[in-house]
Amino acid sequence: MNKLDTLFANLWQDYINITPSAHKIHDLLGMHGEIVNDHIALRTFNLEKVNLDKISAHFTNLGYEEKGQYTFEQKKLRAKHFEHPEANRPKVFISELLVEEFSEQLQATVKSMVDQIDTAAVAAEGFVYSGVHWQISSEQYDALLQESEYAAWMAAWGFRANHFTVSSNHLDALNQLVDINDTLKNAGFELNTSGGEIKGGEEVLLAQSSTMADQVAVKFSDIERVIPSCFYEFAQRYPMSNGQLYQGFVAASADKIFESTNARKLDS
């Protein structure tokens, strides 16, 4: 395997370890055609040591190129997406939390987490699926959750792919997003309904849906608790006027996809 194949194999293995539903869905949809990943996504903080550029370097070093930029004012995030010149390489969507726009308390918690990372680790191979590098209590997690679901998710899960995305365009027998959604719902999987089951559509050249994140036990410094881990996404791309499939993202849809790792409104 070349370096990129190895990197994505490791990201996938880490992801399915904490996202058992993704493994099941991969097998289920795999019966309808070849599973090609449209993209993966990673999260980070905009603090110098681990900012978006530090994460993206792991991909640009292997040939990825920066393509699009996105801002999420309400969630206080910025993001970029990267593409590889080779066909069928997954795109990479990386976002960073604008830490300075939050309370002193959140800033202090995040800074103390990032301070615990060994500086040399950030550029080392495997950092992008290395998880957490810090101790955090369940109380700190709850305090972060009050201000930012994203900050709390990062505190609990750290550096890793928070989702993989199946390209519906490559699933011969199931190439319409609505049919994928029906297949998943019939099999008992819960979809993210924020902004509707399907976000976007042909008018923005990209339709997206996703599961709600799995619920997985995490050991905080004080107690163990079951919280949302990662989710699976499904994307259908439409051709532009030149006949090529649109390759970008849609900020209004992405804003809702982020919420796939939110706590459920009702306990189930």
Spatial CB neighbours of 105, under 8 Å, sequence gap ≥ 6: 143
Q: Are 240 and 232 spatial neighbours (Cβ–Cβ below 8 Å)?
A: no
Q: Are 173 and 194 spatial neighbours (Cβ–Cβ below 8 Å)?
A: no
Q: What is the footprint of ligand OOG within residues 216-235 (CB under 6 A)? A: 233
Closest by Cα among 172, 171, 191 to 181:
191
> Residues 242-261: x/- map of binding to ligand OOG (CB under 6 A)?
-------x---xx--xx---
In the list 93, 157, 220, 232, the residue contacting ligand OOG (rule: CB under 6 A) is 93
249 binds, among ligand OOG, Ni ion, none (CB under 5 to 8 A by kind): ligand OOG
Q: What gap in Å lies between CA 96 and CA 54, rounded to an integer?
A: 11
Chain center to CA of 131: 13
- Say whether residue 46 binds ligand OOG (CB under 6 A): no
Closest by Cα among 124, 128, 151, 125 to 140:
151
- Say whether residue 168 binds ligand OOG (CB under 6 A): no
| C-beta of 140 vs 260, nearer to ligand OOG | 260
Size of the site for ligand OOG (CB under 6 A): 12
Beta strands 77-83 and 91-97 are antiparallel
95 binds, among Ni ion, ligand OOG, none (CB under 5 to 8 A by kind): ligand OOG
- Say whether residue 95 binds ligand OOG (CB under 6 A): yes
15 binds, among Ni ion, ligand OOG, none (CB under 5 to 8 A by kind): none
| C-beta of 220 vs 231, nearer to Ni ion | 231
